[in-house]
Amino acid sequence: MAKGSEFSEAIKILRVKQDMDQADLARCLGMGQTAVSAWETGQNTPSAEALVKMGNLASYPDCLFFYEKAGMDLKRVSQVGKALDVCLNFIRHFDSRTYDQLGARIVGMDREEQLSAVLESMGGLGHLSPVTSPFLDEVVPAILQLVEEIDPAAATELRPHVGGYDSPALQIGYMRTTAAKILHLKKKKHPWDRE
């Protein structure tokens, strides 16, 4: 584990960005305030489980520090984070109400759970039109890259369908269903477990 001061600064920054005091962060982590205080003063270092929970609270790419220190596979975390950001931007552009509701629902979930929830909500955007093609140029590659990382065989099956639909809603729907299925099937016992 790294020195306590390295954690100290990162935890303080997380709290400030999330507009939390030590007691708020402790509640989110299911711990006592004394644990958070000890981390911030460098007297102790967080467990891997606590680091993952803090990573779940942090936005991307700030979460990478916590995930790395917990020993997670950063390549996969980065790909999930990128796909999550692209999909959230897509939803925000087309349906701000869904975006706001989704933001409140996914707080505290791990990144793969967040992405699954976001992909699920994209299924409700059936009113998409060909005007969305600039956004598809970002969403489709991000989801496809994630699928390739998690399940290369599924990516091979998915690739012929990418761009094969006239309707952007159908194209995203097919990719969303495939990615959500893979995320569900490949879910690890704990998010900090390595493959």
Residue 129 sits in the same domain as residue 49: no
pLDDT of residue 2: 46
Residue 180 sits in the same domain as residue 119: yes
195 occurs within a structural domain:
no
Q: What is the pLDDT of residues 88-117, one digit of tens each?
A: 877 777 778 888 888 777 876 777 778 878
Mean pLDDT of 41-60: 88
Residue 84 sits in the same domain as residue 176: yes
105 occurs within a structural domain:
yes
pLDDT of residue 195: 43
119 occurs within a structural domain:
yes
CA distance linking residue 122 with residue 81, whole number of Å: 16
* CA atoms lying within 13 Å on the CB side of residue 11: 30
Sign of the CA dihedral running 58, 64, 69, 72: positive
Structural domain for 48, as ranges: 4-69
Residue 102 sits in the same domain as residue 174: yes
Q: What is the pLDDT of residues 109-151, one digit of tens each?
A: 777 778 878 877 776 655 555 445 566 667 777 777 777 777 7
192 occurs within a structural domain:
no
Percent of the chain with pLDDT over 70: 71
* Both tokens assigned to 4: 């306590």
Closest CA to 115 of 179, 169, 159: 179
Residue 59 sits in the same domain as residue 146: no
* Domains held by the chain: number: 2
Please provide the DSSP assignment of 147-186 as one string: HHHH-HHHHHHHGGGTT--SSHHHHHHHHHHHHHHHHHHT
